[in-house]
Structure 1
Amino acid sequence: MRYLVLLVLLGLPIGVAAQQERLVRLYAPEALVETGLMKHILPRFSLKTQVKVALAETPAAADMVLGAQGRAIFEGAGQAWHMQIVAQDHKPTARLADWLTSDVGRRTIFGFAPDGVALFAPPAAKAVVAVEVEMDGDAQLGHKVSRVKCARCHAVDEASRMGTIGSTPSFFILRAFEDWDARFSGFYLLKPHPAFTQVEDVTDPFPEDRPSPIVPIEVTLDELEAILAYVQALAPADLGAPLQTE
């Protein structure tokens, strides 16, 4: 009832207001419009969703913009076309965005072939460049620090394999994990280390009324960098092939 009163106060016909609630203003550059793609896909979207799409004259007047910014959704007509949502909380615009990236929408776009040849294709995948991080710490110092401060629990080298806690992974096993550097960089945050580890200028002192259950391990940031350099040089343990499940 209050919605109807508001429409009357604004002087808007009820039918016009309802249509505006189901309208998306889309900006597409002339080069894209001239291909005929918009005439091909937009009626199909509207038939499926009952959401109308009107082409805006400028990006500033649009709820969604097709151009060079945003998420890449297809390429053709000489460039990759991206979707940028301007009206973030507009449900009809969200429906159009979902449709354009859905299987149905993609098939409709890629199936547009006015002369028997498809004009548009999926966007090219971006190449992922792997960056190898080089640790600049002192590996020899890292070996010494590891033997003094880590070997009570972990096997840090061949000589310490038989004198450690059996359930604690060796440095060789940890080195085989893809995120080994993150594990070592933040080891003092991983249980049980917070209970007995102090990193200079990083961790808070132990409460005086709750001392560490064992002799604390005190490590400086320079020593931690040295340990990382030492572990990087270790040969990872062979953990075998990943388990295969059906």
Structure 2
Amino acid sequence: MACRKLLIFVFACIWMSASVNAVRSAEPFRLSVPQDLNDSGFLKYLLPRFSLKTNTRIELVSPEDLAEVRLLDEQGGTPVFDGLDRTWYASVEQETGGTKRFLEWLTGDVGRRTIDGFPAKDGIAFTAAAPVAKEVDDGLIAGDAGKGEKLAVVHCGRCHRVNAATRMAGIGSTPSFAILRTLADWKPRFEAFFALNPHPSFTLIEDVTEPFDETRPPPIVPVEMTLEDLDAILAFVSRIPPADLGAPLQYQ
């Protein structure tokens, strides 16, 4: 019985500690809003729902006061909602745990649904702003890809299948560039290829690698290039479609 009471006490302490930490992690912040937005009644609907959901207290202040976040009707932050015949932007003046959570909530699914759920009254309606399109990294590396392809054929084509023209060349056990492009770390591999075996024994990069040891000459004709050449090869490789290796093996 004593052991059971001790366990209950320990679990209670852990739960209370977690609750206290959760409260402390929700940092309060000041939100600056223009008078007409404050008078619309929209924030009285929106902010309590955010505070209840995230346990974060917000203090409303006027535009003249210091604030960690400002709601503006001119472009200068992240668009968050439309209302009063204009788009409103959230400008984060000081990023804290609370302000970051506020912006994520406003632009996330829950916040957007909450905004759209505002009951229009006396012709005043608010809707979530159109989400900002995120830039997609296409993975392309800037550089002279045409030059890079020619250099890759000359320097790398001895062992690797570089393009369609060299598909019958190279060494059979050496992966093609298209195969290497399927690797998650293909970019750092190509960037530092000269340091990865077996390349150090026969590769010279101007102003980067050390000269060969006279007592240990390269086993084949050396590959010699500049960093500019390497940049061009990287630009070419970034434009090679990864090989289609088919579906992963299914084990029963």
Aligned partner of 2:71 in structure 1 is 66
Do residues 220 (structure 1) and 220 (structure 2) align?
no
User: Residue 42 of structure 1 contacts residue 53 of structure 1 at CA under 8 Å; is this kept in 2?
Assistant: yes
Q: Counterpart of 2:172?
A: 166
Q: Deviation at 1:194?
A: 5.5
User: 1:172-187 maps to which residues of 2 (within 5 A)?
Assistant: 173=179, 186=191
Letter matched to residue 220 of structure 1 = T
Residue number in structure 2 paired with 1:88? 95
Query: Is 1:154–2:160 an aligned residue pair?
Result: yes
C-alpha distance in 2, partners of 1:46/1:238? Answer: 50
Distance in 2 of aligned mates of 1:233 and 1:43: 50
Q: Is residue 24 of structure 1 aligned with residue 7 of structure 2?
A: no
Equivalent residue number for residue 244 of structure 2: 239
Shift of residue 240, structure 1, vs aligned partner: 6.7
- 1:25 Cα offset (Å): 1.9
Q: Distance in 2 between matches of 1:93 and 1:231?
A: 41
> For the residues of structure 2 that align with 1:45 and 1:142, how far apart are their CA atoms?
54
Corresponding residue pairs, total:
219
Output the amino acid matched with 1:108.
T
Cα contact 2:162–2:176 (8 A) shared by 1: yes
> Is the 2:28–2:98 Cα contact (8 Å) retained in structure 1?
yes
Which is further off, 60-69 or 219-228? 219-228
> Residue in 1 aligned with 2:196?
191
Aligned to 2:23: none
Equivalent residue, structure 2, for 1:33: 38
Whole-Å separation in 2 of the counterparts to 1:25 and 1:158? 61
For structure 1, the residue ranges without an aligned partner over 5 or more in a row are 1-20
CA distance in 1, matches of 2:105, 2:125: 20
Query: In 1, distance between residues paired with 2:53 and 2:105?
Result: 10
Amino acid at match of 1:35: S
> Does the Cα contact within 8 Å between 1:142 and 1:223 map onto a contact in 2?
no
Which residue, out of 58, 77, 82, partners 2:84? 77
Moved over 6 A (4+): 129-134, 175-180, 228-234, 240-245
Tell me the percent identity: 35
